[in-house]
A and B are shown apart, each in its own frame.
Chain A
């Protein structure tokens, strides 16, 4: 290959600062979106299993509507279609205070909430129906049964697929560059623009994503281990 590598572009000039800034933005964006996704996911996932049809329909509508439209479209939706619904001064205030970032966060959070919802629902579905019946028989209301019995068990069951979703969310945050959020992928492109060294910049971006994702996976594995209820999941694999 006729290409001269020049890895020093990654730490000379402003590249290092740009990458760091990109990592911070990616983490902020992903963390906030993750919180939205988890809250919406638990709520709608639980609602899809309750014995009250209108709530089930509502939750089903949310899930099917939001997960079946491409994320890129949601980015444009939250950035271009939502602000015009607000009064003009509010719009201007938003656009001066990081509207791009918030639109990106909402797009990512609401989209992944719909996907998270299915994960939670499958967790709830894995719990024998008798547990719910036993809870109600003991005098708990439906809400109490979900809060005290069903959800605590379901959330433990869904840690592995939940981790999967979380990693997807982190990587999907790169779509926010289409609405000018200067996250990690944006910054790697920036380095490429300035130095014309595409391979070095992309490699740096790839490694950073890899490290972030591996860290999350490790933390989640520990969480799973820590909160495991002895005897609930019979075949626990050896750690590692």
Chain B
């Protein structure tokens, strides 16, 4: 139902929008004094409405603390951030219709999407890992030969395992709850999905400390902020803000606030990810 509604909304937005003249986003922000972002309401800890009814999250903090100062510098005046809800089916239409200027949520940067929008530097990087019982002999994708691995039917992870790691006994479940239950009870030795999702499941497990997320990513899911295609000046401003955050360490402080040991969802950054993020700015 929600999906249908979202699609209808997307369609309505797409139809009613005045054809976007190649307007410069920075000029638009300079005129209005507002940067409109499209973000999520139920994707903790990236963007969600918390217990105190505040719209917060990692992605929102990145915009407010890193992107906003950089855009302010580019337009030469102080600006406000306005948040609008965007969902996977609505976010690209919202951008192209000028309803929002920047998507900052949980959007994966893919080659297909790059055909219709531009992406900022990657601000979060996840990929397929394994959720296992503590002390399991599985430490990564190279230890799964002969092991029973649960996956979600139709996911890219299942596809990769089937093609590249046929020695594993793959068990494909139609949804996440069944696969997770199979792991909890020992029907399978590990459950594979995007690392950040597994971290979320671990927190919800009856005894979170009994489980751990292991392994290097064997698939890539880089999250980026999306913008209208071909607006080089705006993209430069957004990227400059993120780049400054990486350089000054501010980005890592924000990461720690949400994903550190005391954060909303503990998901420590691996050296592999840190290297990936810093490589973007030539370090």
Chain A residues in contact with chain B, CB under 8 A? 76, 79-80, 83-84, 88, 91-92, 95-96, 99-100, 177-180, 182, 186, 189-190, 192-194
Given A189-B154, A193-B159, A194-B159: A178 in contact with B185 (beta carbons within 8 A)? no
User: Is the CB–CB distance between A180 and B172 below 8 Å?
Assistant: yes
User: Is the CB–CB distance between A178 and B178 below 8 Å?
Assistant: yes
User: Is the CB–CB distance between B153 and A83 below 8 Å?
Assistant: no
Cα A95 to Cα B148 with chains together (Å): 8
User: Is the CB–CB distance between A83 and B174 below 8 Å?
Assistant: no
User: Is the CB–CB distance between B187 and A80 below 8 Å?
Assistant: yes
Residue pairs across A and B with Cβ atoms less than 8 A apart, 6 shown, are A84-B185, A95-B186, A95-B188, A99-B187, A179-B178, A186-B172
Inter-chain CB contacts under 8 Å: number: 46
* Complex interface: chain B residues within 8 A of A194 (CB): 159
Q: Which of B148, B153, B172, B182 interacts with A96 by CB under 8 Å?
A: B148
B185 to chain A minimum Cβ distance, whole angstroms, is: 6
* Complex interface: chain A residues within 8 A of B78 (CB): none
Cα A179 to Cα B179 with chains together (Å): 9
Cα A173 to Cα B191 with chains together (Å): 25
B87 to chain A minimum Cβ distance, whole angstroms, is: 21
B7 to chain A minimum Cβ distance, whole angstroms, is: 16
Cα A186 to Cα B188 with chains together (Å): 19
User: Is the CB–CB distance between B173 and A178 below 8 Å?
Assistant: yes
* Complex interface: chain B residues within 8 A of A193 (CB): 153-154, 159
User: Is the CB–CB distance between A177 and B159 below 8 Å?
Assistant: no
Cα A192 to Cα B174 with chains together (Å): 14
Whether B181 is near chain A, meaning CB under 8 Å from some CB there, is yes
Given A80-B181, A189-B153, A193-B153: A96 in contact with B169 (beta carbons within 8 A)? yes
* Complex interface: chain A residues within 8 A of B178 (CB): 76, 178-179
Cα A88 to Cα B185 with chains together (Å): 11
Whether B139 is near chain A, meaning CB under 8 Å from some CB there, is no
Cα A90 to Cα B181 with chains together (Å): 19
User: Is the CB–CB distance between B171 and A100 below 8 Å?
Assistant: yes
Given A189-B154, A193-B153, A194-B159: A95 in contact with B173 (beta carbons within 8 A)? no
Given contacts A79-B182, A180-B172, 20 further A-B contacts (CB under 8 A): A76-B178, A79-B187, A80-B185, A83-B185, A84-B185, A95-B148, A95-B187, A100-B171, A177-B174, A178-B173, A178-B178, A179-B178, A180-B150, A180-B171, A180-B182, A186-B153, A186-B172, A190-B153, A190-B154, A192-B154
B158 closest partner in A (C-beta): A193
Cα A192 to Cα B150 with chains together (Å): 20
* Complex interface: chain A residues within 8 A of B150 (CB): 180
B171 to chain A minimum Cβ distance, whole angstroms, is: 4
* Complex interface: chain B residues within 8 A of A189 (CB): 153-154
Convert B177-206 into 0s and 1s, putting 1 for each residue whose CB lies closer than 8 angstroms to a CB of A.
010011001111000000000000000000
Convert B149-178 into 0s and 1s, putting 1 for each residue whose CB lies closer than 8 angstroms to a CB of A.
010011000010000000001011110001
Cα A95 to Cα B172 with chains together (Å): 14
Select the residue from B148, B186, B187 with max chain A CB neighbours within 10 A. B187
